[in-house]
Amino acid sequence: MPKKPKIAFYWCSSCGGCEESILDLAEDILAVVEAVDIVFWPVALDVKYKDVAAMGDGEITATLINGAIRIDEHESMARLLRQKSKLLIAHGSCAHLGGVVSLANFSEREDIFTRLYSDVPTVKNPQGLFPKSGTIDSGNYLELPGFNDTVKTLDQVVEVDYYIPGCPPTPELIKEAIMAVLEDRLPERGAVLAESKALCHTCPLKESKPETIRIKKFKRLYEFEWDPSRCFLEQGIVCLGPVTRGGCNARCIGANMPCSGCFGPLDNVTDQGAKAASFLASLIDSTDEEELQRITASIPDPAGLFYRYSLASSMLKGKVAGNKSD
Ligand code: SF4
Ligand code: SF4
């Protein structure tokens, strides 16, 4: 019997949603399991790191890694899996662009620890215990993974062949990516495996989006009775569909939520946040200084809005916090 291609899955700093997205393949996962040997998948299979280390270089046909790079163990596993895999695929926004996890780059490493282990109102830590780099257990020294200064994308650590966008990606995209690997019909190396057009092109509300939109106030969903059958942006609600890659089946729009940008920027855009900010600025209907300030102040949480999925891959990276690693 011919040998099946080997596939691996790994997670770095991940919420688990991307792992769920594989399970969301539902009965299609049977077709995938039938076609491949899954040789490593920590969330589902008891395969040890040393088993991966014992594999030959390039032995794994394709590895999908989700989650951002936060600790040094993520870096070493990314390097090991790169070495053992013919193809390395960044799976989901965190691996692709840094994701929600990389919003931590707005804070210094020490401030994150202080907040988490001391200042959060629900934390009680009278001994002032903070994470350490090692500990003694039953007379044995245990080294713990180091916490890096900044969150990185996967391709800031190792070469990545392809990207599956989304937070999380749709099961359809994951299945299509795996089938493209198996059927040897992948596009040019480095491609994002989704549509190249903006979400608006496939949005079910696109017919109600006017040619020109002028905005006097950015409104939040709870502030007024909005019409779910009309384009969000046309009603003054921030929707990043015009500057976000399509291919998500407009899941959020279908659930009456505007696009928040998880599929990342279109090709040739280097900074998703800067692009989104300049796009929204172009819609503001005023030239009066005071009114401009009032309208821009109505944009909710600008840093979190524009860089929600892409801070690590942006031009800002972690420099905002003055981290030494950049
Ligand atoms: S991309 Fe989204 S779903 Fe996937 S690990 Fe990151 S936060 Fe979770
Ligand atoms: S701006 Fe948003 S709601 Fe309007 S057409 Fe584009 S994706 Fe759809």
pTM of the predicted structure, to 2 decimals: 0.93
Counting ligand 2 atoms within 8 A of each CB, the residue from 231, 238, 249 with the most, and so the one to mutate, is 231
Q: Which of 106, 97, 101 is nearest to 244 (CA)?
A: 97
Average pLDDT over residues 124-143: 92
Give the Å distance between the CA of 206 and the centre of ligand 2.
Answer: 6
How far is the C-alpha of 242 from the C-alpha of 276, rounded, in Å? 9
Per-residue pLDDT, 320 = 52
Per-residue pLDDT, 30 = 84
Average pLDDT over residues 105-121: 94
Per-residue pLDDT, 324 = 47
**pLDDT-wise least confident of 1-5, 47-51, 171-175:** 1-5
Per-residue pLDDT, 300 = 86
> What SS3 state is found at 117?
helix
Q: What is the mean pLDDT of the chain?
A: 94
Per-residue pLDDT, 225 = 96
Per-residue pLDDT, 32 = 83
Q: Tokens 């695929």: give the residue.
A: 89
Q: Is 195 exposed, middle or buried (0-12, 13-18, 19+ CB in 10 A)?
A: middle
Residue 133 has pLDDT above 90, yes or no: no
Q: How confident is the model at residue 326 (pLDDT cuts 50, 70, 90)?
A: very low
**Residue 40: beta bridge partners?**
8
Q: What's the distance, Cα to Cα, between the start and end of the chain in Å?
A: 50
Per-residue pLDDT, 1 = 66
Share of the chain above pLDDT 70, in %: 97
Calculated CA dihedral for residues 235, 241, 247, 249, nearest 10 degrees: -20
Residue 319 has pLDDT above 80, yes or no: no
**Residue 6: beta bridge partners?**
37
Q: Which two tokens stand for residue 46?
A: 């008891």
Residue 186 has pLDDT above 90, yes or no: yes
The tens digit of pLDDT for each residue in 276-292 reads: 999 999 999 999 999 99
How far is the C-alpha of 204 from the C-alpha of 257, rounded, in Å? 12
**Which numbered ligand comes closest to the C-alpha of 163?**
1
Going along the chain from its start, the domains and CATH numbers come out as: 6-100+151-182 (3.40.50.700), 109-148 (no CATH), 199-320 (no CATH)
Q: Is 17 in the pocket of ligand 1 (CB under 6 A)?
A: yes
Q: Which of 325, 326, 313 is nearest to 103 (CA)?
A: 313
| Ligand 2 pocket by Cβ (under 6 Å) | 199-200, 203, 205-206, 209, 231-233, 239, 241-242, 253, 258-259
Average pLDDT over residues 206-230: 95
Average pLDDT over residues 127-152: 92
Residue 228 has pLDDT above 80, yes or no: yes
Give the Å distance between the CA of 20 and the centre of ligand 1.
Answer: 10
Q: Is 13 in the pocket of ligand 1 (CB under 6 A)?
A: no
| Atom number of ligand 1 nearest to Cα 166 | 1
How far is the C-alpha of 240 from the C-alpha of 208, rounded, in Å? 16
* DSSP state letters, 264-319: -PPTT-S-HHHHHHHHHHHHB----HHHHHHHHHTSSSHHHHHTTTTTTTSSSTTG
The tens digit of pLDDT for each residue in 72-111 reads: 999 999 999 999 999 999 999 999 999 999 999 999 999 9
300 or 218, greater pLDDT = 218
Average pLDDT over residues 259-264: 98
Give the Å distance between the CA of 84 and the centre of ligand 1.
Answer: 24
Inter-residue long-range contacts of 313-318, CB under 8 Å, 24+ positions, other chains counted: 313/96, 313/97, 313/98, 313/102, 313/153, 313/156, 313/272, 314/98, 314/271, 314/272, 314/273, 314/274, 315/270, 315/271, 315/274, 316/105, 316/271, 316/273, 317/105, 317/150, 318/105, 318/149, 318/150, 318/151
